């Protein structure tokens, strides 16, 4: 006899089939938005992580497959409510209002509704990280993004100018969003020709954090720790990327707009973000007994 | 379970009311939602409406504090995406305390497809200014028909050799707002036949080591006196929007 925690294979097949059919309809419904998001991502280094997010989602599903199979059920009709709410949001963002970003965001309640209808509440709960990744994959409009980043960009630029100024033989001046430097090796502008240079890759760092944090089933307490450290980690990695770029510009780069400083600083900062998120997700702190130790691998704690 | 038993169970799960209804809703939405919303958008599309009096004819003599003792200079625009604008620099004729000049910068947009422009907090920084402070302030404007406070945005910038105070707000379909998103919301609201929005901005410079208070006060004074003139003489009335 099968226990409640181990659904029959036909129940799993039923849920997966329902999911695949509804996801097919979802792609049909949102094809213009998905196409636009993909083309935006392909053309902007701010959102290029969007192209990796489907891979991250597939990996998360794979890593959580055992728990997902355990949590599958016959689905819940409440999903229809989420689905129609998402579609209503989409319609309202087309007429009478016109908000491209809201139309994109409407995909999330629709996806949540699909998972709920096809696989039930507990599967939806396990799928929340994937939905969060979808949200982080949706590019913000350039005008909204430019307005949102004013404070972090201003502070990052000022911090970079201050730190660079401490380095031997380097003088810096900030003009608007430009950090001008003068050193024994030459002079120039840090991160020349890059827009939003003080706050690049924030969504990419956040997506990396979500992926690392949810790559294993973790306790609520651990997730709270990751959530509390996420913003400082993201901002520090953003700072670190710009700092690496500045140091390379000052000491190494011979061409101010060459690819070396940009690529090296991006790789280093993403690596740092990965390590910091792994640390926040797994470090054993003496503040409490690590609940991860107590829970068997693959078993849901209190997520 | 036998293979036939499994397929019966699978068919049964695919025939659940929740799944079928969801599939139907998504299918209908995929076919009809976008064209339907676009058809509505086209049918109820708002129309442009011109200003009652061109902004270039804005009469600074109507401003009590600036009618005498100030010289007017009209400044050519840079990339403002509209032909309807007024950029007026008012300079004191005599040396006095406080900023020696203040700029009134008004742009008017009425094409429903017009994008709400960048606000000064974004574009001044691109021009080399460093943002030192930004906050909302309320300005009391007794000259308005329904005498009331208007919420505006105050920004303080550091330039290379001087500082600047900027006060701005939007006026969209007869309502004051201080963020782009609020304006987008208003111009999307159904009801009116016509649509317009305007950005009203005042700018005053002050020395690097000085307090911004007098520059802010000058910006507020110009704002307080210019706004009633703009509304009563230039911008369309609420009744005109509905016609």
Q: Which residue of B has its CA nearest to A101?
A: B181
Domain segments of chain A as ranges: 9-142, 149-294
Residues in chain A closer than 8 A to B30 (CB atoms): 25, 28-29
Residues in chain A closer than 8 A to B19 (CB atoms): 18, 21-22, 75, 117-118
- Looking at per-residue pLDDT, the higher value among A200 and A115 belongs to A115
Predicted confidence at residue B79, as pLDDT, reads: 77
Q: Which residue of B has its CA nearest to A73?
A: B13
Section B195-224 average pLDDT: 95
Q: How confident is the model at residue A10 (pLDDT cuts 50, 70, 90)?
A: confident
- Looking at per-residue pLDDT, the higher value among A231 and A143 belongs to A231
Are A150 and B122 an interchain contact pair (Cβ–Cβ within 8 Å)? yes
Predicted confidence at residue B147, as pLDDT, reads: 61
Residues in chain A closer than 8 A to B127 (CB atoms): 176
Predicted confidence at residue A299, as pLDDT, reads: 43
Domain segments of chain B as ranges: 3-43, 47-242
Section B177-194 average pLDDT: 89
Contact B214, B129 (CB under 8 A): no
CB pairs under 8 A between A and B: 139
Q: Is A162 within 8 Å of chain B by CB?
A: no
Predicted confidence at residue B73, as pLDDT, reads: 96
Section B128-149 average pLDDT: 87
The percent of residues above 70 in pLDDT, for chain B, comes to: 95
Gap from B98 CA to chain A (nearest CA, Å): 25
Are B160 and A175 an interchain contact pair (Cβ–Cβ within 8 Å)? yes
Q: How far apart are CA B231 and CA A107, in angstroms?
A: 41
Angstrom CA distances, A99 to A32, A212, B74, stand at 14, 32, 36
pLDDT digits (tens, 9 = 90+) for B59-82: 999 999 999 999 999 998 887 888
Statement: residue A297 has pLDDT above 50? no
Long-range contacts of B19-23 (CB under 8 A, 24+ apart): B19/A18, B19/A21, B19/A22, B19/A75, B19/A117, B19/A118, B21/A77, B21/A80, B22/A22, B22/A79, B22/A80, B22/A83, B22/A113, B22/A114, B22/A117, B23/A21, B23/A22, B23/A25
pLDDT digits (tens, 9 = 90+) for A169-194: 899 999 888 899 998 888 888 887 77
Predicted confidence at residue A303, as pLDDT, reads: 42
Q: Is A251 within 8 Å of chain B by CB?
A: no
Residues in chain A closer than 8 A to B190 (CB atoms): 96
Predicted confidence at residue A195, as pLDDT, reads: 77
Residue of A25, A89, A154 best to disrupt the B interface, most CBs of B under 10 A: A25
Residue of B10, B22, B27, B113 best to disrupt the A interface, most CBs of A under 10 A: B22
Among candidate residues A225, A218, A227, A223, the one with its CA nearest the CA of residue A294: A218
Q: Is B158 within 8 Å of chain A by CB?
A: no
Q: How far apart are CA B108 and CA B102, in angstroms?
A: 20
Predicted confidence at residue A1, as pLDDT, reads: 44
Span between the terminal Cα atoms of chain A, in Å? 28
Among candidate residues A78, A58, A56, the one with its CA nearest the CA of residue A68: A58
Predicted confidence at residue A284, as pLDDT, reads: 75
Q: Is B185 within 8 Å of chain A by CB?
A: yes
Q: How confident is the model at residue B2 (pLDDT cuts 50, 70, 90)?
A: low
Are A99 and B184 an interchain contact pair (Cβ–Cβ within 8 Å)? yes
Section A74-92 average pLDDT: 94
Section A117-132 average pLDDT: 95
Are A77 and B18 an interchain contact pair (Cβ–Cβ within 8 Å)? yes
Note if the pTM is more than 0.90.
no
Section B19-28 average pLDDT: 95
Predicted confidence at residue A5, as pLDDT, reads: 52
Mean pLDDT value across chain A: 88
Statement: residue B98 has pLDDT above 90? no
Are A150 and B189 an interchain contact pair (Cβ–Cβ within 8 Å)? no
Section B208-222 average pLDDT: 95
Scanning B92-121 for CB atoms below 8 A from A yields 115-116, 118-119, 121
Statement: residue A256 has pLDDT above 80? no
Predicted confidence at residue B15, as pLDDT, reads: 83
Predicted confidence at residue A18, as pLDDT, reads: 93
The percent of residues above 90 in pLDDT, for chain B, comes to: 63
Q: How far apart are CA A242 and CA B235, in angstroms?
A: 46
């Amino acid at each position: 006899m099968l226990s409640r925690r181990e659904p029959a294979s036909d129940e799993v097949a039923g849920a997966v089939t329902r999911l695949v059919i509804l996801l097919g309809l979802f792609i049909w419904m949102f094809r213009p938005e998905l196409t636009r998001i993909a083309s935006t991502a392909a053309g902007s280094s701010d959102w290029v992580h969007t192209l990796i997010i489907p891979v991250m989602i597939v990996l998360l599903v794979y890593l959580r497959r055992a728990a997902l199979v355990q949590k599958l059920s016959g689905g819940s009709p409440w999903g229809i409510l989420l689905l129609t709410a998402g579609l209503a949001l989409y319609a309202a963002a087309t007429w009478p209002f016109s908000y491209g970003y809201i139309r994109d965001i409407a995909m999330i309640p629709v996806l949540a509704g699909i998972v709920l209808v096809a696989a039930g509440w507990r599967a939806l709960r396990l799928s929340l990280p994937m939905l969060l990744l979808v949200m982080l994959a949706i590019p913000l409009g350039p005008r909204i993004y430019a307005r949102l980043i004013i404070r972090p960009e201003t502070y990052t630029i000022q911090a970079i100018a201050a730190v660079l100024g401490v380095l031997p033989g380097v003088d810096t001046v900030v003009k608007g969003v430009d950090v001008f430097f003068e050193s024994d090796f030459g002079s120039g502008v840090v991160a020349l020709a890059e827009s939003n240079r003080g706050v690049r890759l924030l969504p990419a760092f956040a997506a990396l954090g979500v992926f690392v944090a949810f790559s294993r089933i973790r306790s609520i307490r651990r997730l709270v720790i990751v959530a509390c450290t996420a913003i400082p980690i993201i901002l520090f990695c953003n700072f670190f990327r710009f700092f690496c770029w500045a140091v390379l510009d000052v000491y190494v780069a011979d061409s101010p707009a060459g690819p070396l400083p940009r690529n090296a600083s991006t790789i280093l900062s993403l690596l740092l973000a990965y390590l910091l998120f792994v640390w926040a997700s797994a470090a054993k702190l003496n503040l409490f007994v690590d609940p991860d130790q107590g829970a068997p691998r693959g078993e849901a704690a209190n997520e | 379970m036998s293979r036939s038993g499994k397929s019966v169970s699978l068919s049964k799960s695919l025939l659940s009311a929740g799944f079928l209804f969801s599939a139907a809703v998504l299918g209908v939405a995929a076919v009809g939602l976008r064209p339907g919303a676009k058809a509505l958008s086209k049918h109820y599309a708002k129309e442009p409406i011109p200003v009652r009096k061109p902004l270039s004819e804005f009469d600074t003599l109507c401003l009590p504090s600036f009618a005498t003792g100030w010289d007017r200079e009209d400044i050519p625009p840079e990339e403002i995406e509209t032909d309807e604008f007024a950029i007026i620099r008012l300079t004191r004729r005599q040396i006095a305390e406080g900023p020696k000049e203040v700029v009134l910068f008004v742009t008017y947009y009425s094409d429903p497809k017009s994008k709400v422009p960048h606000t000064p907090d974004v574009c001044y920084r691109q021009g080399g200014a460093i943002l030192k402070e930004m906050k909302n302030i309320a300005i009391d404007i007794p000259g308005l028909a329904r005498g009331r406070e208007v919420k505006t945005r105050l920004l303080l910038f550091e330039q290379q050799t001087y500082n600047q105070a900027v006060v701005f707000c939007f006026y969209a379909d007869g309502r004051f707002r201080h963020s782009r998103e609020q304006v987008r919301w208003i111009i999307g609201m159904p009801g009116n036949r016509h649509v317009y929005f305007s950005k009203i901005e005042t700018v005053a410079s002050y020395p690097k080591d000085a307090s911004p208070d007098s520059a802010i006060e000058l910006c507020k004074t110009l704002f307080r006196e210019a706004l009633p003139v703009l509304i009563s003489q230039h911008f369309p009335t609420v009744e005109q929007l509905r016609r």
